[in-house]
Amino acid sequence: MIETGFESNELIERLPPHLKQYIKPQHYDSYTPINQAVWRYVMRKNVDYLSKVAHESYVLGLQKTGISIDEIPSMYGMNRILKEIGWAAVAVDGFIPPNAFMEFQAYKILVIASDIRQLENIEYTPAPDIIHEGAGHAPIIASPDYAEYLRRFGEIGAKAISSAHDTEMYEAVRELSILKEAEGTPQANIDTAEQRVVQLQSKVVEPSEISLIRNLHWWTVEYGMVGTIENPKIYGAGLLSSIGESAWCMKEEVKKIPYHIEAAYQDFDITKPQPQLYVTPDFAYLQEVLEEFANTMAVRKGGWRGLKKLIGSKQIGTIELSTGLQVSGIFSRMIQNEDNEVVYFETEGETALAYREKEIIGHGVSRHANGFRSPLGKLKKINIAIENMGPRDLQAYNFYDGKPISFEFESGIIVEGMNVTGMRNLNGKLMLIQFTDCHVTYGSEVLFTPEMGDFDMAVGKEIVSAFAGPADYHSFNLVTHKASTVETIRNNPNESENALMNLYQKVRDWREGSKLFKETDLDDVFQQIKTQYPNDWLLPLELYELACNYKFSKSEKVLNYLNDLQQSRPKVAHLIKGGLNLIKI
């Protein structure tokens, strides 16, 4: 009997609260006998087919990660075994925000949507489900090279800056995936949600960092192939978990392209099979392209472009100055000089200052509840930057604690006030100066007045890094998540559906040997299928497999029925045929 509890491990325990908020109980008992049958069908098909076309790590990984062919895996069992390869798994409800998804990977945690696709979507579903995550992502991390790529991707991806458009797109795709997987959803509702996704996809916007790195994730982690163009092998979870696309992708109609950084600019449609796929020569090359892309990101380039991205995101982000001072908050404004260099910036609302990812004592959101603002750059007619001034330099330019001072930046920003104290970094360079009774002006514009409190001026020539999220996640209350559209829809089965599930359970019990199975039992269930559930194809397939195992003479009747179904239901004929090919007579 499968264990239904949940076993944590040290990787899960050290997750920050803003990630733990997405973790949900698996509710293993809520999987129906039909769910279990869907899992078993997909896994049997996959293992039979993928052993020929998947990367060698896949089949080995199924064993290493505790993924069973016959029953849906429990988080308990997966975590116990994943622990041995330095990873863990958690259950979540469908899609979670991209940055959070990436950050889980950075912590070496597999995010597994614990729901499972409906029988009618057995070949492919746009919604994340346990087949996609558990049978797709988990096995391939048995490859150390690939596992390290996944972890490093998470580290870099978590820093990628998103846009307001990304948030809209995320919510629209999440809603569509939930509606498509919910039984009984009116087609009009699905059409409306699908139209919303199409509208957003067709909107011409400048691609954000998160959208570009999400493309790289899609064409590698989800839909990647490895090897040569002539003989590629599957490693992407979307292909490994889809019995439809794993076969489709190997056809000549699907163009195979050598993997390169331009894949970041190739969009995808989550609702359709992919017309082209990228092939990497090996997993090590994935790392090379990832680092090449990271070199284009604001986290490494900083500057005005990085700050502009943060302002456009309207979400908490961080800039790091050349002194190492990190400012985290929602950025709202910048002033640039004629060379486009940032000479002034502002945040709005709660802001925190940090150094080396640790909040500076006394400079959390309680002190900077109403935002933070500061000029940057060099002082006028002074060749040396403030951050490079030693004690003698500071005295020469009248920077004395407890003394009033007035100075002008090259940009024309003037600061006048009482110099109270300064704070230095580990190299002894000034990174923050506190003033009281301070006025800050830029031409005729007043940027700061004494009525606004003390003025904490950031010291730094330039912005060397800009990235999504706070420098120190302890600085903010980030446990605020709630799906703004809809939550996964749970259906209450009616009497007929419950009766069908009972039949599935009977067949499952007979196959597992927990209950005695006689030929009269086969007749009884078979008659109920024919008269009450003529559209169901998976249960008679399981019944035929069982009859063959027991060498019942009436198995021929079930086989004839399945052959008739292939004629009357051409849309599922290939699924029935595929299942029959797996049965050893």
Averaged over successive runs of 10 residues, the pLDDT of the chain (585 residues) comes to 52 90 89 94 87 87 81 85 86 84 93 85 76 82 91 96 85 80 80 87 86 95 95 92 86 94 90 89 96 97 97 95 97 96 97 98 96 95 86 82 90 95 90 96 96 96 96 90 48 83 93 84 92 94 92 90 94 92 79
| Single pTM value for the model | 0.84
Tokens representing 379 are 């002082």
Q: What is the predicted pLDDT for the residue at 215?
A: 95
Residue matched to tokens 């919510």: 171
Cα distance between residue 289 and residue 281, in whole Å: 12
- Cα separation of 430 and 426, whole Å? 10
Residue 64 CB partners (closer than 8 Å, separation 6+): 81, 84, 85, 139, 142
Burial 269-295 (b: 16+ CB within 10 A, else e): eeeeebeebbbbeebebbbebbeebbe
Nearest to 108 by CA among 15, 215, 239, 220: 15
Q: Side chain identity at 451, as an amino acid letter?
A: E
Specify the pLDDT at position 4.
Answer: 39
Of the candidates 140, 139, 118, the one whose C-alpha atom is nearest the C-alpha of residue 129 is 118
pLDDT for 490:
54
| pLDDT in the model for residue 487 | 53
Q: CA–CA separation, 312 vs 177, rounded Å?
A: 27
The CB density around residue 480, as the number of other CB atoms within 10 Å, is: 8
CATH 1.10.10.350 fits 302-475, yes or no: no
Residue pair 185/134 in contact (Cβ under 8 Å)? The answer is no
Cα 128 to Cα 126: distance, rounded to the nearest angstrom: 7
Q: Which two tokens stand for residue 346?
A: 């502002």
**DSSP letters along 214-271, please?**
HHHHIIIIIT-EEE-SSSEEE--HHHHT-TTHHHHTTSTTSEEEE--GGGGG----TT
Q: Where do the H-state alpha helices sit in 323-370?
A: none
What pLDDT score does 1 carry? 39
Q: How far is C-alpha 402 from the chain's CA centre?
A: 50
- 10-163+206-291 and 302-475: identical CATH topology: no
2-to-15, 47, 409, 461, 478 alpha-carbon distances in Å: 27, 21, 69, 60, 36
Say what the pLDDT of residue 179 is.
81
Query: May I ask the CATH architecture of the domain 10-163+206-291?
Result: Orthogonal Bundle (1.10)
Phi, psi dihedrals of residue 336, rounded to the nearest 5°: -120, 155
Give the three-class secondary structure for 408. Answer: strand
pLDDT at 2: 43
CB of 326 closer than 8 Å to CB of 357: yes
Which H or E element spans position 130?
helix 130-132
Give the DSSP H/E element, type plus range, for residue 332: strand 325-336
Residue with tokens 């070496």: 108
Torsion of CA 55, 56, 59, 63, to 10 degrees: -130
CA distance 18 to 379: 41
Which residues touch 452 (CB under 8 Å, ≥6 apart)? 370
* Torsion-angle region of 382 (φ positive above 0: left; ψ -120 to 50: alpha; else: beta): beta
HSE-CB for 125 with a 13 A CA cutoff: 28
Q: Where are the domains of the chain?
A: 10-163+206-291, 302-475, 495-582
Cβ–Cβ < 8 Å for 324, 458: no
Q: Are 330 and 347 in contact (CB under 8 A)?
A: yes
Taking CA 30 as the corner, what is the angle to CA 24 and CA 35, rounded to the nearest 5 degrees? 110
Cβ atoms of 461 and 429 within 8 Å: the answer is: no
Q: Say which residue the tokens 């429990």 belong to.
A: 74
Q: What sign has the CA pseudo-torsion 558, 563, 567, 572?
A: positive
Rg value, the chain, Cα: 29
- Identify each DSSP E strand in 366-412 by its residue range: 373-375, 403-408
Nearest alpha-carbon partner for 242 in 89, 129, 97, 82 = 129
